[in-house]
Structure 1
């Protein structure tokens, strides 16, 4: 009977200690846990695949749509990383501006968007008189309705082609300034 008691005591002790030892062996120390949290700083906290957003003005009029194959948010930097973004802005004169690129970065406060890789700005893409602007980098300030680049720019329309280096563009005013090395070809329109 004495042997059975010892075996029973040993079995009960093992049943109590094994889960505790397993838990202790598989979890980290408080110092390791705090270092894991500090490693997460500057990391993506969420992402969205096949994102589709819409913006309206204060009267309820749709002003912009944006699609992106992927959006990743970095809370530390307050930035959104865009993959293959496409934006369509709807203007008060019923025109549209479509902007596409390979990638982009927007700030959380929407004060600035940086686009890179095959940036195309297409004014009135559905009309015959549409104008297309091509560059490798473009910075857009949505709240100012303004964009700029210091990279080479190519502009093509039914009336001709322009090339230059550096540019600023006021969307609402429809004013575009090429900064240097401007070359152009004009096609007479009937």
Structure 2
């Protein structure tokens, strides 16, 4: 290789290295902001499909069942301080002293403390001992199985043979069979539909 070719390649290499050093050390006002991916996808460490899980009371009696088309388990991360799970098409059947309540939705988030937040098209239904069917609709329902409580701050509609009630916010004590509506309560009472 001739001296001229070598000198040419050496000069080109020095110019390239110099340009790299100048640009890598430049402020963002010259180069512009570099976008960083902040919403990195968090991967589940376990996935189960078509699940059917039973939870029991301390005395061994069945408390509730949790079914889901898909259940994903996640470790703690930047968004969640402790482990959690997500579910697609969850169904919870709460088995109380009377006929069970069934709660279904499009998805759910289950915290490490087993607080279940069901969302998107949440439907809770129950048929009592008198064969009266009650259906509740909302977009979010938080279920605390240990306390046998379900609640929401979202709009809720309850339909039964007695009529139709709508409100914003609700607390349901599933053990005591008591529902408390929080605000903006409107209703239509139709007692004539009940057979004596």
TM-score tier after normalising by the smaller chain length = 0.7 to 0.9
Provide the aligned length of Structure 1 versus Structure 2: 149
User: What's 1:123 paired with?
Assistant: 126
Alpha carbons of structure 1 residues 127 and 86: separation in structure 2 relative to 1, 3 Å: farther
User: What's 1:97 paired with?
Assistant: 101
Correspondence 1:3-14 to 2 at 5 A:
none
Q: How far is 1:86 from its partner?
A: 0.5
Structure 1, residues 134-182: CA drift from partner, whole Å, max 9, x if none?
A: 1001111211111211111000111111011111111111121111111
Aligned partners of 1:64 and 1:87 also within 8 Å: yes
Q: Mind listing any 5+ residue stretches in structure 1 that lack a counterpart?
A: 1-39
Q: Mind listing any 5+ residue stretches in structure 2 that lack a counterpart?
A: 1-39
1:150 matches 2:153: yes
Aligned partners of 1:42 and 1:75 also within 8 Å: no
Q: How far is 1:41 from its partner?
A: 9.9
Aligned residue for 1:176, secondary structure, equals strand
User: Residue 91 of structure 2: which of 82, 86, 91 is its match?
Assistant: 86
User: What's 1:160 paired with?
Assistant: 163
Alpha carbons of structure 1 residues 82 and 126: separation in structure 2 relative to 1, 3 Å: farther
User: What's 2:66 paired with?
Assistant: 66
Q: Distance in 2 between matches of 1:70 and 1:125?
A: 30
Aligned partners of 2:148 and 2:175 also within 8 Å: yes
Runs of 4+ in 1 over 6 A off after TM superposition: none
User: What's 2:50 paired with?
Assistant: 50
Structure 1, residues 29-57: CA drift from partner, whole Å, max 9, x if none?
A: xxxxxxxxxxx995310100111111222
User: What's 2:112 paired with?
Assistant: 108
TM-score, structure 2 normalization = 0.70
Root-mean-square deviation over aligned CA pairs: 2.0
Alpha carbons of structure 1 residues 41 and 134: separation in structure 2 relative to 1, 3 Å: closer
Q: Distance in 1 between matches of 2:120 and 2:128?
A: 20
